[in-house]
Amino acid sequence: MRAKARAHSNIALIKYWGKRDERLNLPAVGSISLTLSALWTETEIEFSPQFQTDQLILNDKTASPEETGRTSRFLDVLRKLAGINHKAVIQSHNNFPTAAGLASSASGFAALTLAAARALHLSLSRKELSVLARQGSGSAARSIPGGFVEMHAGQSADGSDAFAEPIAPPAHWDIRLLIGITSGAAKKIGSTAGMNLSKTTSPYYQAWIDAQHADLTAMRQAILDRDFERLGELSEYSCLKMHALALSSNPGILYWNGVTVEAMHAVRDLRRRGTPAYFTIDAGPQIKVLCLPEDENEVREMLESIPGIREVVSNKPGPDARILEADE
């Protein structure tokens, strides 16, 4: 029982921050993301009655007990669905640095969901796959579809309506997202811990929840209208609001380093000089810049000229998660 899948990472344009249920990993707010062409995870899984324990190999190294435990608990959900108790060997490769705000958990859990469901011979819809991926990591639900994607917060207690679906396919609109890598280190406060701290301590938490609906509606429309200025403004706005929640937690969470802040100013300077470029940042120090294809070289040069930016990775809208190989 073996299968291999590839899923691409995604970056939220309208951010997710906060859970309404931690056990089922139910988001408190919906979100909208762009699936990325250049960053992906490939995961191969084999289930066998001969394996005594689950074994996770991440980028050719045995994963930590915490990472293996998280993966095991996630696989239990799929094993239960399939009525199969076999343990698994999982080999996973990211083509980018793990856990530094590059959404490796998004592509990782999406690839794992697809590969494990296939290896266990579960026949599931894309919606069901997205619901399952969410239980590994909230943003992973958004890496099942390609292109422009919306994640629904849902209202049900069991999470069956908390899934992601496409707003528009990759070919709808050729925009670019350039990632400036400012650090290869793993983030200090993971997103789950950060979200919980914001929910329990930030005085702005309820205001964030209340405003999300309007941002989602506006972003959906900007994507359908191919209105780049609107998409960029909304992305920057949602990013800064999310970081305001992190900063206003107690103790405050600061995901940026000095280079991140330099880059935010540089993006705005470029914009003042007439180039439509907008930033977004996740729970880590990397800077992501949205622009149009004709401005990609200029944005890349600008990022490369900032001391401390180690590498720039260009993305277009990326494809759906897919199976690469499977036993019949």
Q: How far is the CB of 221 from ligand PMV (least distance, A)?
A: 19
Does position 177 interact with ligand PMV (CB under 6 A)? The reply is no
Stretch that binds ligand PMV, among 81-89, 110-118, 132-140, 304-312 (CB under 6 A): 132-140
Residue whose pair of structure tokens reads 């399952």 in the numeric block? 132
> Judged by CB, which is closer to ligand PMV: 108, or 319?
108
Three-state DSSP state, 67:
helix
How far is residue 9's CA from residue 30's CA, in Å, rounded to a whole number? 18
How far is residue 118's CA from residue 4's CA, in Å, rounded to a whole number? 9
> Judged by CB, which is closer to ligand PMV: 192, or 248?
192
> Judged by CB, which is closer to ligand PMV: 282, or 295?
282
Which of 37, 137, 182, 314 binds ligand PMV (CB under 6 A)? It is: 137
Neighbours of 253 (CB within 10 A): 21
Which of 283, 289, 290, 313 binds ligand PMV (CB under 6 A)? It is: 283
> Judged by CB, which is closer to ligand PMV: 120, or 253?
253
Any idea of the CA torsion for 59, 122, 171, 288, to the nearest 10 degrees?
-40
Size of the site for ligand PMV (CB under 6 A): 13
Q: How far is the CB of 32 from ligand PMV (least distance, A)?
A: 9
How far is residue 99's CA from residue 105's CA, in Å, rounded to a whole number? 7
- Residues between 6 and 25 with contacts to ligand PMV, criterion CB under 6 A: 12, 15-16
User: Which positions from 99 to 118 touch ligand PMV by CB under 6 A, shown as an x/- string?
Assistant: ------xx------------
Question: For residue 185, which of 284, 294, 56 has the smallest C-alpha distance?
Answer: 284
- Residues between 24 and 53 with contacts to ligand PMV, criterion CB under 6 A: 31
Residue whose pair of structure tokens reads 């209340």 in the numeric block? 210
Residues 6+ apart with CB under 8 A from 214: none
* Length of the chain, in residues: 328
Which of 139, 182, 280, 286 binds ligand PMV (CB under 6 A)? It is: 139
> Judged by CB, which is closer to ligand PMV: 27, or 319?
27
Which of 94, 191, 249, 260 binds ligand PMV (CB under 6 A)? It is: 191
Q: How far is the CB of 259 from ligand PMV (least distance, A)?
A: 18
How far is residue 27's CA from residue 24's CA, in Å, rounded to a whole number? 9
Q: How far is the CB of 191 from ligand PMV (least distance, A)?
A: 4
> Judged by CB, which is closer to ligand PMV: 165, or 298?
165
Q: How far is the CB of 272 from ligand PMV (least distance, A)?
A: 27
Task: State phi, psi for 232 to the nearest 5 degrees.
Answer: -65, -45
C-alpha distances in Å from residue 242, one per residue of 15, 218, 247, 308? 7, 17, 9, 24
Q: How far is the CB of 24 from ligand PMV (least distance, A)?
A: 13
Q: How far is the CB of 118 from ligand PMV (least distance, A)?
A: 23
C-alpha distances in Å from residue 193, one per residue of 10, 26, 52, 200? 20, 14, 31, 11
Q: How far is the CB of 14 from ligand PMV (least distance, A)?
A: 8
Q: Helices 126-136 and 65-82 sit at what angle, rounded to 10 degrees?
A: 150
Tell me, what DSSP letter sits at residue 33?
A: E
C-alpha distances in Å from residue 249, one per residue of 100, 137, 206, 212, 255? 20, 22, 13, 19, 12
Q: How far is the CB of 93 from ligand PMV (least distance, A)?
A: 19
Q: Which residues bind ligand PMV (CB under 6 A)?
A: 12, 15-16, 31, 105-106, 137-139, 191-192, 282-283
